[in-house]
Structure formats: structure tokens, C-alpha cells
Amino acid sequence: MSVSATVTTSRSLLSEGNAAALAALRDALGSGATVSDRELDRMALAVDASHYLHAPDAVMRARSAADVGIAMRVAAQMNWPLTFRGGGTSLCGQALSEGLTVDARRHFRNMEVLDDGRRVRVQPGLTVTQVNTALARYGTKLGPDPASSIACTIGGMIANNSSGMTCGTTANAYRTLESMTIALPSGTVVNTADPNADDILRSHEPELVGVLERLRDTLRGDKYRADIERRYAIKNTMGYGINSFLDYDTPAKILEHLMIGSEGTLG
């Protein structure tokens, strides 16, 4: 028995709205932007470690946090789905996009070892193994130990709160992260290590700060506190880290720790 079939390849057939979004993004980024809707580029990022196949409308190779902020602002304004991609080790399709895929790996691979290996400043594109290899000469390593550490990136590990089997409740990403640079959907970029981080957030994101502070005050009440403490007394990587509202006081630190495990939905 013979079977014949017609096989077609996915081409960039953007809707009018998404084509306008792509044009707006290119205009906002300027001539140095690396945004492509070529079929080859789109199909190269149409798979991850899951069994899904989904080609994005376009691919952006971000070069800086400012680029990421611009992309998020344009995507939010144009109602264009945006998904970040690191190492592509997701088993559930988190790295696949229906709109714009932002590659947060290629141009984000710098690292600085601090305090004789007791701290490390890392961009999101390095893999866990690459960072641990650099730290090995100091006799230290990162706390999280995801099974895919040879391939998963720091950004993806933090975004998914990937922890591995041995980090427990004390050496995971939530407990060992000191600060991060966050690009918000509005385009605001804030480094939580900046002493003025809270002032920047209050100035540029007053509504966000208001929400964070109201939730903090609400969740610290008797109605919720005990239940949250119970749920996070054990290893818990499910959903948003609402324990951050109990563990931290200021908007910048709360937001910083809400980002861990948020899978790119907050920034």
C-alpha cells in the first residue's frame, strides 16, 4: 500500500495586526535591530525539548535589557504575544510562541565572579554548568541543580524556578538570588541592586507598586499568613511565589522574588 501526502512548510503569514506590530518593533529598535520573520529563523526556534512544534511570527535576538524592555512595551501596546527563550530545555512547550520569540541567550553570556566565588553576577544566557565550571576553581557552585543543567540557561532556570533534587528549601533560586535586572511590560527596566530601585518603581510604575503593597498588607493578615507559611515550609515550586509578600518588605524585593517561577508572565 502506498500513501501520498502533501507536506507544506510554515511560512510567515502575519495578520495585518501582527505585521503592524513587527513593523513597530523594528522602528522602535532602530537600524541595529535583529528581528526576523524569515522562515528559517522562525522554524529554528519552533521546537524545544517537548513534543510540540509551533513556529512564532518572528524572532528577536535581543542585545540588551533595553532591547527587551522595548520589545515588551511594543508587544503590550500591539497586543502581540511575546515569549522568552533560553536553552529550550522545556518539556512542556514554555519556550514556544504564537507571536514574538525573544532569544535571551545569544547576546547575554557575560559573567563576573565576586567575593572569591561566594557570589556571581551572571547574564541569563549562560548555562548552569558553564557558571558552575567557572565557580569550581573557588570550591563553590550554584544552589539550584536542575537535571538539565548542562543545557538549561540561568534565565530559564530562574523563570521556571527549576531547582533539582538536592537544593531543598534553602539552596534554591528563590533563596540564593540576591538581585536581578527586570524588564517590565511597560518597557521600564530596573536593577534591584540599585539603592534607588524602589524610587524608580514608584516613579515609573506607581500602579504596580500600589498593587504589590496592597497584596503584601493583605497576605500578612491572620486570614492568609499561616496557610502561606505552611505551603512554603516544604519545597514548593508551583505557581507564583506568593511567599515573597511575607519574606520581603519593599516593592523591588517582592517583585524580584515574584519573578522566580513566573515563566516570563510578569516581565
pLDDT digits (tens, 9 = 90+) for 2-16: 333 333 334 455 677
Burial class of residue 222, CB neighbours in 10 A (0-12, 13-18, 19+) = exposed
Residue-wise pLDDT tens digits, 187-215 = 999 999 999 999 999 999 999 999 999 99
Instruction: Output the domain CATH number for residue 128.
Output: 3.30.465.10
Domain tally, the chain: 3
Q: What is the pTM of this model?
A: 0.88
More confident residue, 168 or 111: 111
- Rounded to 5 degrees, φ, ψ at 191 are -100, 115
C-alpha triplet 249, 251, 255: angle, nearest 5°: 110
- Assess if residue 170 is contained within a domain: yes
Number of residues assigned to the chain: 267
Whether 184 is covered by a domain: the verdict is: no
Answer yes or no: is 141 within a domain: yes
Confirm whether 166 is domain-assigned.
yes
**Residue 169 in this model has a pLDDT that exceeds 90:** no
Output the pLDDT for position 90.
87
Domain with 164 in it: 108-178
**Section 28-34 average pLDDT:** 81
**Cα angle vertex 12, ends 11, 16, to 5°?**
140
Does 160 lie in the same domain as 114?
yes
In percent, how much of the chain has pLDDT > 90?
79
Grid coordinates of 182: 527586570
CA torsion angle for 207, 212, 217, 220 (degrees, to 10)? 170
